[in-house]
Amino acid sequence: MRRDRPFGSRDGEILPARIPSRLAVLDYLTTTGLPETAAALRKEAGLSDYNPDGKQRYSGLLEKKWTSVIRLQKKVGAHGQLIMELEGKLSALSSELSTGPPRKSASSADWIPRPPERKTLMGHKSPVTRVAFHPVFMILASASEDATIKIWDSETGEFERTLKGHTKAVQDVAFDSKGNLLVSCSMDLSVKVWDTQNEYTCIRTLHGHDHSVSSVVFTPSGDSILTASRDRTIKVWEVASGYCTKTISGHSDWVRSAMPSDDGRLMATCSNDQSVRVWDLSSGECKGEMRGHEHVVECVAFAPTTATAAIRTLAGVEVRVWIPVKLVISIDANVRCPSL
C-alpha cells in the first residue's frame, strides 16, 4: 500500500479495514453540520486530506447502516415476542397434559387433514338445517329452525337478505337448474316459491301436506317440485300453477327425502320405515323397494349415471350403494331389487 496517498483516493488503493467506517462517520459529521467534531476525527484518524463528496462510495453509508440495524432490532424483537408466546402456550399445554384427565383417542375421521374454512357465516338465531348453492352466481341460501332463509354472497361471506314467511322451522331449500327460483319447505306444512329475479319475492305458497314437510327439490326440467313429508307421502307440484298433480303413497312412516334422477324419469325416496323406494315419476308406480338398513334412512341420492343410488342412515351409521338394474342382491344378500 502507498502510505503517502490520502485515504479515500480513487486510484484503486486498498484501505485498512477500519478506514471505510471512519470515512462514513466523517462524511456524516461533515454533511450534518458538525465541523468541530469532524475536524477532531480527521486529526485522530489521520484523515486530514479527505474531502467528502456526495458521489463517493462512503456517502450516506452510516445512515444506511443505522437503518439496517434498526430494522434488524425490530425483527429480533418481534421474533423474541413470538418465542415468548410459544413458550407460554407450551407451558400451558404441558401443565394441562400432566394434570388433566386422560383423553380419549381421536376417531379415524380426525386423522384426515382438512383445510381451514374460508368463511364463517353468522346470523341465524337457531340451528341451520340446510344450505344450497346457486347454480350460476356466487350465492348461498341457508335454511334455519328460526323460520327464516338467509341469502349470502358465497365469495365474500357477506349477508344479503333475510326471507321471512314461514312460521316454523324451515327444513329444506333448493334452487332450480337455472337459479331463477328458490323453493323452501317447513314444519308449518307449507312450501314456498321465491323469485330470485325479483328481490326474492314469494310468488307462491303450496298447501296440501298434513304434517311437517321434510324435503323439497325441483325436477331437472324445472317444471315440477317434489316434496317429502312426515305424513308418509310424496307430492308432485306443477311450478307454473302451484297445483298438486300427484300424491304418492307407499312408505309406512315419515318420508325423509325425495330425489329425482338426472333424466327426470325416476325418483328415489327414503323413510323412517328403514326402506328406500324407487318410483316412476310419470306414473307414480313403485319400481322397486330396497331393504337392509337397521336405522332410519334420512338421505338418498342418485349417482350421475342414474345407475346407482347412495343412501345414508341416521347419524351416518352406514352408507349403502344400490344398483337398480335387473335382479340384484344387496351386500348382506337379503335385499332384491327388480329391474327398472
| Complete DSSP assignment for 205-257 | EEE--SS-EEEEEE-TTSSEEEEEETTSEEEEEETTT--EEEEEE--SS-EEE
What pLDDT score does 39 carry?
76
Q: Is residue 328 part of a domain?
A: no
Pair 56, 201 in one domain: no
Pair 48, 139 in one domain: no
**How sure is the predictor about 6, in pLDDT bands with cuts at 50, 70 and 90?**
very low
Pair 57, 138 in one domain: no
- CATH number of the structural domain spanning residue 281: 2.130.10.10
Pair 27, 158 in one domain: no
Q: Is residue 37 part of a domain?
A: yes
For the cut 80, the answer to whether the pLDDT of residue 35 exceeds it is no
b (16+ CB within 10 A) / e for 308-339:
ebebbbeeeeeebebebeeeeebeeeebebee
Q: Is residue 51 part of a domain?
A: yes
CA distance 193 to 186: 12
Q: Is residue 84 part of a domain?
A: no
Q: Is residue 206 part of a domain?
A: yes
Q: Report the percent of the chain where pLDDT is more than 70.
A: 68
Pair 270, 184 in one domain: yes
pLDDT tens for each residue of 189-230: 999 999 999 999 999 999 999 999 999 999 999 999 999 999
36: containing domain:
20-63
Pair 59, 157 in one domain: no
Q: What is the mean pLDDT of the chain?
A: 79
Q: Which of 28-42, 147-161, 175-189, 299-313 has the lowest mean pLDDT?
A: 299-313
Q: Report the percent of the chain where pLDDT is more than 90.
A: 48
For the cut 60, the answer to whether the pLDDT of residue 13 exceeds it is no
CA distance 47 to 29: 13
Q: Is residue 87 part of a domain?
A: no
Run of H or E including 61: helix 61-99
Pair 58, 184 in one domain: no
pLDDT tens for each residue of 153-171: 999 999 999 999 999 999 9
Selection from 22-31, 67-76, 151-160, 314-323 with the highest mean pLDDT: 151-160
Cell of 133: 348453492
Q: Is residue 308 part of a domain?
A: no
Pair 59, 133 in one domain: no
* Total tally of structural domains belonging to the chain: 2
Instruction: From 214, 217, 288, 218, select the one nearest 250 (Cα to Cα).
Output: 288
Determine the 3-state secondary structure of 113 from DSSP.
coil
Cell of 336: 332384491
Pair 290, 164 in one domain: yes
Pair 174, 258 in one domain: yes
Q: Which of 93-97, 252-256, 301-305, 328-332 has the lowest mean pLDDT?
A: 328-332
Pair 279, 197 in one domain: yes
Q: Is residue 82 part of a domain?
A: no
Pair 169, 54 in one domain: no
What pLDDT score does 201 carry?
96
What pLDDT score does 117 carry?
83
